[in-house]
Copies of this chain bind each other. A is one copy, B any other.
Amino acid sequence: MVVEIISVGTEILLGNIVNTNAAYLAEKCAGLGLSCYYQDVVGDNGERLMQVIRTALSRADVLLLSGGLGPTQDDLTKETAAAAIGRGLYLHEQSKQAIAEFFRQRGMEITDNNWKQAMVPEGCIVLENPNGTAPGIIMEDNGRHLILMPGPPNELVPMFENAVIPYLNTLQPGIIYSQTVKICGIGESKVEHMIEDLINTQSNPTIATYAKTGEVHLRVTARADEEKEAKKLVKPFVKELKTRFGNHIYTTQEEVTLEKAVVDLLLANHLTVSTVESCTGGMLAARLINVSGVSEVFKTGYITYSNKSKRKLLGIKKASLEKHGAVSAEIAKQMAKGASVFTKADVTVGITGIAGPEGGSEEKPVGLVYIACSVCGRVNVKECHFSGSRMKIRESSVSSALSLMRESILAYYSEVTFGAKKS
């Protein structure tokens, strides 16, 4: 089945916002086994929107439209999509009540134009929107499916997950089941090489590779008549991936991030953590602290960008800094050890590196980063060479630090190290 993704909004055409909805929907559709050949962006203009919808109807089975469902006169998606297949609109009592309730709960006054959002096309399926006032709409016409969703990602994503995916699954023979395997600590090309045989011989399930900063996500997708059967197809593949990648797999759950996996590992082992950052300047702590519930494990973060603060806060000796240089395996180690002494955390991490664009030398080029992780006194140090912009080098450093934390904690408990050099 072929899907076309149509994003409606003048703000996208003007470059005011990046079209993350299209990327989200595209990734989800690929996971659902739907083919997508075109994405379109069009402004809040009835005539041009109509042209895009008509073209899409001529070449796709499913149209996923987002945006243009707001209360203003500019918002034309519903009216235009309905007109494209000859439908009128009527006041949907349930949506009217939901809108009234949405405003009541927030103590906000309803303006007259809000009722426009309760008008829906004849014979459509209305999708609830608990996070906003624009309901979603599904229309069916001559084997074509027009699905209209609100533009704000915090409204679109839950609606797509909760209502649209189940609907799309009813359109396809059998069902699609996919599982994500998230890998850290191995580069993309190595991961691809390690599964080349699986990819070359794939049919059902399929494996798709998604490279992220410092991570690779694999998605195993199977199609079958029933969910049970599809799961049975996926299972041996995931098992094979587990055999091949071992502890480098940090989760097989879609919603678990690398920082969440690290925090969960800390929680499970009753470990506390402190961080000491130089070039990353707080980004590692910030990622850990983005995990709700981190307060039980996170003790203290230090940002010791200057040599002076490294000495003062962590007791690192001036002679040591002069001998090894601030960017060195030894100083990374001392940063992690200093944090253990001063904060008494079980796990401590030190990051020191040259993020550029200035500050590099032949011996220590931009992108050289040392990361040390101490687990109950046992320290692992990793030397990394990253490339890209200052921000990219810092993001790569943080991902590597999270990987090293995982490796170090697992190694501490299993007495098996992998990848990281023992100090």
Contact = CB atoms under 8 A, between A and B. Distances in A.
Interface size class of A (residues with CB under 8 A): 35 or more
Contact of A38 (B18, B40, B305): B40
Contacts of A15: 22-30
Interface in A251-300: 275, 277, 279-286, 288-290, 292-295, 298-300
Chain A, interface SS category: mixed
Contact of A282 (B43, B301, B358): B301
A306 B299 contact: yes
A290 B298 contact: no
A309 B301 CA distance: 9
Contacts of A279: 289
Contacts of A302: 300-303
- Count of identical protomers in the assembly: 2
A288 B394 CA distance: 13
A367 B52 CA distance: 40
Contact of A295 (B40, B306, B313): B306
Q: Which of A19, A36, A281, A302 has the most CB of B within 10 A?
A: A281
A348 interface: no
Interface of A: 12-20, 22-30, 36-43, 45, 48, 52, 55, 154, 208, 210-211, 275, 277, 279-286, 288-290, 292-295, 298-306, 308-309, 312-313, 343, 356-358, 388-391, 394
9 shortest interchain CB distances as A-B pairs: A282-B282, A301-B303, A15-B27, A281-B289, A15-B26, A282-B285, A39-B41, A282-B286, A18-B23
